[in-house]
Amino acid sequence: MLGACDDGGYYILGLKRAHARLFADIAWSTDTVAAATRARAREIGLDLVALEPWYDVDDAASLARLSADGTGYAAPATRAVLARLAETSEAVPA
Q: What's the pLDDT tens digit per position in 30-74? A: 999 999 999 999 999 999 999 999 888 888 888 888 888 877 667
pLDDT at 27: 96
* Contact present, 1 and 49 (Cβ < 8 Å): yes
Dihedral sign, Cα of residue 53, residue 56, residue 59, residue 62 = positive
Residue 94 has pLDDT above 70, yes or no: no
Of 23, 45, 20, which Cα lies nearest the Cα of 36? 23
pTM comes to 0.74
